[in-house]
Amino acid sequence: MLNGSIPESFSDLKSVDQIDLSKNDLAGRIPEFFANMQFLHQLDLSTNYFEGPIPTGGIFQNHTAAILDGKAGLCASAPATLHQFPVCTVKSKKKALLLVKLIPPTAIALISFICFVVTILKRRQAQAAPCYKETMKRVSYGDIVKATNWFSPVNKISSGRTGSIYIGRFQFNTDLVAVKLFHLEENGARDSFVTECEVLRNTRHRNLVKAVTVCSTMDLENNEFKAIVFDFMANGSLDMWVHPKLHHNSPKRVLSLGQRLRIAMDVALALDYMHNQLTPPLVHCDLKPGNVLLDYDMTARVGDFGSARFLSSVPGSPEDLVGVEGTIGYIAPEYCMGYKVSPGYDVYAFGILILEMLTGRRPMDAIFTDGLSLHKLVSSAFPGRLGEVLDPHLSHGYRHPCDRVFMRRYMVPLIEVGLLCSMESPKDRPGMGEVCARILSLKEEFFEFC
């Protein structure tokens, strides 16, 4: 059942000859554009909750072609318009006088509220500027169809429950883009689109994905269509590099220790920004290697904010409650016991990501049964037997000598960060500010010698 007002996008249906929106919960005024549809011969808006004057001209000149009902407060703007409805009347002088008395205090209250909202928005913008330019080119459904070669399977990069990502290029720009198409027929996809747009609008950081533009319209079959266009990340996801055997188009090279240090630093900086520099704080809620993207120079950027939450300052608010979506293996244990969402959710996932990046093992690999987990596996080998659990590529196959000579010297403290972040109790995990300081010190020392 439809509710709300009739969207302006219906005005694009210029060649339609019949529209039936009866028996819904639609409200507000009947749009004027229906009167301008030359080919419209039948319009059924009955059994809704419309109010106000009925448009004049066009189909509304024929009361048998425009089917309405009078229970919802509709009125005719002239006696000759749909005679079964009362003529819209001007309010009495008494009511007008009352309105005049109410306007000044209402206006003052409204102005005060607007000033308050503007102040809050300015504070928000000072910390988080829009992630896209106000003057960006708007794109249509047709533009996206052409850019992705009609959503060709060849252009598809990845696919999930709520959306698919396609590589493409617009005719008006030579740069490659990644188009995230939302599967609106899936439960939660529309909420993911709204959430991701909100996050992208209120954040800006070099280690977060950047949106180029957003498209929310109707497709050729008049179905709702929503997509977000991002900068294309030339080196794919971290998951492709850590688990190349699982991706047919994975890179042939492997990550050096130095590259893994940089990626860990980039992701830590992104989380520190989200947790400690945004107001209100932002929790990603689905951090994993597949959501860490690498650009042309291997800079890591955190993406896919469809499950993210802005934390409310009001205790017990709906935004803080459990029920967040995530990926098994990266979800902090406390959320299975009814804890509310907190930055500790991301800290745990970051710890698992570090251990996965250094061991090459997924948290849900087949070996992790009977109580054994990735954290416990690494912890049991720490620090003396780390060589037994580390990714074999870290000990051979590198041209850069520093990756071999200094591997053990820098591996132990980085593994320690992963273990601390993935502790079972949230009280035992460090904050992302402390994590950033640890990794930065380690990274600077590593590259000073290498």
State pLDDT tens for residues 243-267.
Answer: 988 777 667 678 988 999 999 999 9
| Architecture of the domain spanning 141-231 | 2-Layer Sandwich (3.30)
Residue 143, classed as helix, strand or coil, is: helix
Check pLDDT > 70 for residue 95: no
* Alpha-carbon distances of 306 from 199, 280, 361, 363, rounded to whole Å: 9, 17, 25, 22
**Residues near 219 by Cβ (< 8 Å), separated by ≥ 6?**
141, 225
Q: What is the mean pLDDT of residues 213-222?
A: 94
Domain spans of the chain, in order of start: 3-76, 141-231, 238-449
pLDDT beyond 90 at 448: no
pLDDT score recorded for residue 143: 95
Structure tokens at 296: 């042309």
Q: Which residue among the candidates 239, 286, 320, 403 is catalytic per the annotation?
A: 286
How far apart CA 357 and CA 241 sit, in angstroms, is: 9
| Predicted local distance difference test score (pLDDT) of residue 163 | 94
Residue 286 is among the residues annotated as catalytic for this protein: yes
Q: Is the pLDDT of residue 132 over 80?
A: no
**pTM over cut 0.85:** no
pLDDT of residue 268: 99
pLDDT for 135 equals: 45
Per the prediction, the chain carries an average pLDDT of 83
- pLDDT tens, residue by residue, 296-319: 999 999 999 999 999 976 555 555
Distance CA 399, CA 289 (A): 25
Most confident of the ranges 52-56, 199-203, 244-248: 199-203
Q: Flag whether pLDDT at 440 surpasses 90.
A: yes
CATH 4.10.490.10 fits 3-76, yes or no: no
More confident site: 361 or 85:
361
Comparing C-alpha atoms, which of 303, 136, 125, 295 is closest to residue 213?
136
* C-alpha pair distances (Å), 225 with each of 19, 92, 144, 158, 413: 20, 46, 11, 19, 47
Q: Which of 33-47, 199-213, 236-250, 334-348 has the highest mean pLDDT?
A: 199-213
- Please report the sign of the dihedral spanned by the C-alpha atoms of residue 215, residue 304, residue 205, residue 255: negative
Q: How far, rounded to the nearest angstrom, does the alpha carbon of residue 95 sit from its chain's CA centroid?
A: 47
Fold: same for 3-76 and 238-449: no
Q: What's residue 102's pLDDT? A: 60
- Per-residue model confidence (pLDDT) at position 428: 97
Span 180-200, mean pLDDT? 94
The architecture in CATH of the region 238-449 reads Orthogonal Bundle (1.10)
pLDDT digits (tens, 9 = 90+) for 331-371: 999 887 878 899 999 999 999 999 999 999 999 999 999 88
Q: For the stretch 144-164, what's the b/e string if a residue is b when 16 or more beta carbons lie within 10 angstroms of its beta carbon?
A: bbebbeeeeeebebbeeebbb
The residue type of 247 is H
Phi and psi at 358, nearest 5°, equal -95, -20
Question: What type of residue sits at position 366?
Answer: A
